[in-house]
Amino acid sequence: MKIAIASGKGGTGKTTLSVNLAAFISENDKVVLCDLDVEEPNSGLFIKGELIHEEEKFKMVPKWVPDKCTLCGLCQEVCNFNAVIKLEKQIMVFPDLCHTCYACSELCPEEALPMVPVKMGELKHFQLNNISFIESHLDVGREQAVPLISQTIEYVEANFDKDTIKLYDSPPGTSCPVIEATKEVDFVILITEPTPFGFHDVKLAIETVKKMHKKFGVVINRYGIGNDDVLKYCKDNDIPLLAKIPNDRFIAELYSSGELIYTKVPEVKKQLKNIYDYILKLKENNKV
Amino acid sequence: MKIAFTTKGTEWDSMMDPRFGRTEFILMFDEEKDELVNFDNRSIEGEAHGAGPKTAQQLLEMKPDVLITGNGPGGNASSVLEQSGTKIFVGAGQMTAKKAYDAYKKNELKAF
Amino acid sequence: MKEIVVISGKGGTGKTSITASIAYLGGKDIVVADCDVDAADMHLLMQPDFEKSEDFYSGEIAEINQDECIKCGKCKDVCRFNAIPIINKQYTINSLNCEGCGYCARICPANAITMIEQNVGKVHISNTKAGNIMVHAELGIGADNSGKLVAKVKKEAKLLAEKTNKEFIVIDGSPGVGCPVVSSLSGADFVILVTEPTVAGLHDLERVYQLVKKFNIKAGCIINKADLNGNVAKEIEEFLKKENVANIANLPYDETFTKAMTVGQTIVEYGESNLKNIVIESWDKIKELVTN
């Protein structure tokens, strides 16, 4: 059971929901929490467990072999991303611009650009009671999140069986990284705030998941502030509203110092239970 | 000495372009020959990513000894320029090319 | 003319609300550029009139001409992105998966594949309710922000500012630390860092500041919700001191932010509040820092 937790923009409470939901579910059930916001993985600030596995993650990029190269320049010509540049006496490769399409490498007549792995980040696997927490961290200076996201999902799918509830904390936005993170999931939870910004961004996010033909539901964070636009929109468009997390300064304070919320705010616990029940129902329906 | 400038035009009086990768022109002054040439770099607008290394490559083909620009090149472009030993001076983004040249001659620009 | 860029690293810090307030205060003296195209929300507060709009093209996607395709399958073999599935016995392009590398088009023996530049969004030039000229963009689903789009938005803003003799360009910068934010910063005279006193906020501030430092741009910082966590706020202040970044203001945790937004207003339009006064003072301080 794969569930993505996503939002149109950053700062709407995506991480807060992910870690609290994972911790809540873990009281009854095994759960995997996977932080795919690889540029800014913050879930680890809230969930501390025992590190049980760690691996470096690589992507393939071309590497110049000077002895074989005739400086014909074909590599630069075929690269659509300015990732291979021919200078007077050498070829330079920029791993961050490279999309690993293999064109330069395979079309080079002298085989002077073999593909080699370069490190892009690290994957860590922690265990805390019933929670398996997996996070990947893009190395500073690395720009492409997508290959690391797809490899992290592969790790999770390879190590946990199909029935386990897996929560994927997705990167913000509506561009490639979030599409990569939600491509294979069974269900998407969209979290937003009941404000004009939140309303505008969640509509974009809904458009995105619809385009990907995903089932989805909405959670409203900071409920009580702002207006009813999101609520009304969900109702008018038959979008399941999974939970309403109240607006409360105390919650913001707990977040700021990296603490779990539902253990201290009963209303949040109740709302998480609503989401959990919904997930269980989905799981039942999936089996049939 | 050959001195390159990132500029918005082709004349000594043209304003400097503070950007490196997406500079509109590269202006080059050859002190020995007392000659000013330019390269029109505006096609860089079409590049979604990697403007820095591409402009750096173009610049190196012109073989300058010194580059004068505004903010300075980003990481990828810097690593190209390092291959050539071109000296880079920054902080000339709000001047004309002429003023930038004078400032360079008076040692008023900061090395990158 | 001076270019002021507002950035924050992570989302949800109030960057757009603060930028919009500055835009409101600057009024006729400034041109506003919204380069935060992933979450382009500023227009919700500025009521732009979309006077001029232009399609924006960026990136390429392969297209297979079925009449010319000889079904040899070479394109599918070289594609590393699973972007060429066979549907109804035809090789087709999955546009969400295609990265636009052009490898298939290059090796197709029948020349049946062309790379088509994509219309990924729109760039608008507007007049706002505050009397600013505003340049803003919107992207379609799955389209990435890029250095190209940011450069385009900034270029339009600059041309307009020059033509109309404005004093400032205020730019809502892109998030993260990649190509778009490099493009946002390039050419700037002053950077406003907006942060919040959370563990994540501090971490992101340090990361994005490395870029600002590298480009040698003068910077100031606004700590939003400063009273939410005194300890982290203090850590941020110490960081600013160490790096010689001006601490422009500490804003209180205040729901006025959201209340003003809910009625489509900036903080400085919405009633009387302590927050409003601090924001007004901040803009004066910023102007002083930029011009000195």
Numbered ranges of CATH 3.40.50.300 in chain C = 2-47+128-291
Average pLDDT over residues A165-182: 86
Q: What is the CATH number of domain C59-119?
A: 3.30.70.20
Instruction: State residue C12's pLDDT score.
Output: 79
Start-to-end C-alpha separation, chain A: 13
A111 alpha-carbon distance from chain centroid: 36
Instruction: State residue C175's pLDDT score.
Output: 76
SS3 category, A134: strand
Cα(A259)–Cα(A19) distance, integer angstroms: 10
Express each pLDDT in C107-149 by its tens digit.
999 999 999 998 989 999 999 999 999 999 988 877 777 778 8
Model confidence at C202, pLDDT cuts 50, 70, 90, reads: confident
Which helix or strand (DSSP H or E) is residue B38 part of?
Answer: strand B35-40
**Which candidate from A82, A83, A90 shows the least CB-CB separation from B83?**
A90
Is C14 a residue whose pLDDT tops 70? Answer: yes
Instruction: State residue B22's pLDDT score.
Output: 92
CB contact (8 A) between residue C58 and residue B48: yes
Judge whether C84 is closer than 8 Å to chain A, CB to CB.
no
- The crossing angle, in degrees rounded to 10, of helices B51-61 and C147-163 is 80
Instruction: State residue C225's pLDDT score.
Output: 94
Give me the interface pTM, i.e. the ipTM. Answer: 0.83
SS3 category, C1: coil
Q: Return the CATH number of C2-47+128-291, one of 3.90.550.10, 3.30.70.260, 3.30.300.30, 3.40.50.300.
A: 3.40.50.300
Which helix or strand (DSSP H or E) is residue C262 part of?
Answer: helix C256-262
Judge whether C13 is closer than 8 Å to chain A, CB to CB.
yes
Cα(A86)–Cα(A71) distance, integer angstroms: 7
The dihedrals phi and psi of C123, each to the nearest 5 degrees, come to -115, 130
Instruction: State residue A288's pLDDT score.
Output: 54
**Looking at chain A, which subunits does it touch, using at least 3 CB pairs closer than 8 Å as the criterion?**
B, C
Residues recorded for chain A:
288
Query: A86 contacts in B (CB within 8 Å)?
Result: 57
**Cα atoms in the Cβ-side hemisphere of radius 13 Å centred on C240:** 25
CB contact (8 A) between residue B80 and residue A88: no
**Looking at chain C, which subunits does it touch, using at least 3 CB pairs closer than 8 Å as the criterion?**
A, B
Nearest to B8 by CA among B21, B26, B32: B26
Query: A88 contacts in B (CB within 8 Å)?
Result: 60-61
Q: Which residue of B has its CA nearest to A87?
A: B57
Judge whether C261 is closer than 8 Å to chain A, CB to CB.
yes
Model confidence at C67, pLDDT cuts 50, 70, 90, reads: very high
Instruction: State residue C214's pLDDT score.
Output: 82
Cα(C236)–Cα(C238) distance, integer angstroms: 5
Question: Alpha helix locations (H) across C63-188?
Answer: 74-78, 103-107, 147-163, 179-185
Average pLDDT over residues A168-193: 88
Cα(C40)–Cα(A115) distance, integer angstroms: 38
How wide is the angle at C-alpha A237 spanned by C-alphas A232 and A241, nearest 5°?
A: 65
Express each pLDDT in A143-161 by its tens digit.
788 899 999 999 999 999 9
Average pLDDT over residues A237-252: 94
In the stretch 111-130 of chain C, residues with CB closer than 8 A to chain A read 115
CB contact (8 A) between residue C264 and residue A208: no
B44, B57, B63: best mutation site toward chain A, by most A Cβ within 10 Å?
Answer: B57
Domains of chain B, CATH where assigned: 2-111 (3.30.420.130)
Domains of chain A, CATH where assigned: 2-57+122-287 (3.40.50.300), 64-113 (3.30.70.20)
Cα distances from B85 to residues B29, B58, B62, B66, B104, in angstroms, run 18, 15, 13, 9, 18
Numbered ranges of CATH 3.30.70.20 in chain C = 59-119
Asked if B89 contacts B66 with a C-beta cutoff of 8 angstroms, the reply is: yes
Instruction: State residue A256's pLDDT score.
Output: 86
In the stretch 201-260 of chain C, residues with CB closer than 8 A to chain A read 203-204, 207, 225, 228-229, 231-232, 253, 255, 258-259
CB contact (8 A) between residue C259 and residue A179: no
Model confidence at C10, pLDDT cuts 50, 70, 90, reads: confident
Average pLDDT over residues A38-43: 83
Instruction: State residue C146's pLDDT score.
Output: 76
Express each pLDDT in A59-117 by its tens digit.
999 999 999 999 999 999 999 999 999 999 999 999 988 999 999 999 999 999 999 99
Q: What is the mean pLDDT of chain A?
A: 92
Is A18 a residue whose pLDDT tops 80? Answer: yes
Average pLDDT over residues A240-269: 93
Judge whether C219 is closer than 8 Å to chain B, CB to CB.
no
Express each pLDDT in C140-193 by its tens digit.
877 777 778 888 999 999 999 999 999 999 999 887 766 778 888 888 999 999
Instruction: State residue C36's pLDDT score.
Output: 87
Cα(A248)–Cα(C264) distance, integer angstroms: 22
C186, C210, C211: best mutation site toward chain B, by most B Cβ within 10 Å?
Answer: C186
How wide is the angle at C-alpha A187 spanned by C-alphas A26 and A275, nearest 5°?
A: 45
Query: C198 contacts in A (CB within 8 Å)?
Result: 255-256
Cα(A144)–Cα(C61) distance, integer angstroms: 19
**Cα atoms in the Cβ-side hemisphere of radius 13 Å centred on C8:** 27
Q: Which residue of B has its CA nearest to A143?
A: B49
Is B38 a residue whose pLDDT tops 90? Answer: yes
Q: Which residue of B has its CA nearest to A76?
A: B54
Instruction: State residue A12's pLDDT score.
Output: 86
